[in-house]
Amino acid sequence: CYKYIIRNIKFVIRLLRTYAGQAGGNKYDNKGGGSNYLCLPSDPENGEAYSYGNDGLYGAEYEITSSSKPSGLPASLTQKEVPCAVCRRKGKVSVLMIPGRKSCYKGWQSEYSGFLISEHITHNNKDYICLDGDAKPLDDRASNENGALIFPVRAKCGSLRCPPYKDNTEVLCTVCTK
């Protein structure tokens, strides 16, 4: 994060970096699974080994080539992994979902921890969300309409750095407040 951002030359807003890591998300050609990019911390807390046919979590890669690059960006970014940072504004209330961890960083309060989930890779995609590890049903009623469905996500090595991540493991998550 930039230590200071100057806006309208009159206001200086102090931003604090919560964590830095690698951008990631769903595989580019999956119809379903997660739809949003995630900032994955560089110090994950890996889940248990888990292999199944659902969505994998991959590292984001730059697709900046000499023929498609915005002016000022080097073509040498092509196929390189994308760094990221999560920042917060000092003095404001923040709610943060951290994928890849089951505990919050120092100074943050954990509201719950659990598992990163999304839609199945063969369905239409949805945002990644953090399912409470102590999830309970709304009530005892059951219907099989196959509306919005949720499936656990697994880590996939390659563009996602392993280590620190581990291939075919549950992707844990936590929701933190400050």
Tell me the average pLDDT of the chain: 83
Instruction: Name the residue with higher pLDDT: 119 or 138.
Output: 119
3-state secondary structure of 77: helix
% of the chain beyond a pLDDT of 90? 39
What value does the mean pLDDT take over residues 33-45?
91
Cβ atoms within 10 Å, residue 118 = 28
β-pair partners for 17:
87
Residue 81 neighbours by CB under 8 Å, 6+ apart: 22, 23, 59, 60, 61, 62, 159, 161
The pLDDT value given to residue 67:
73
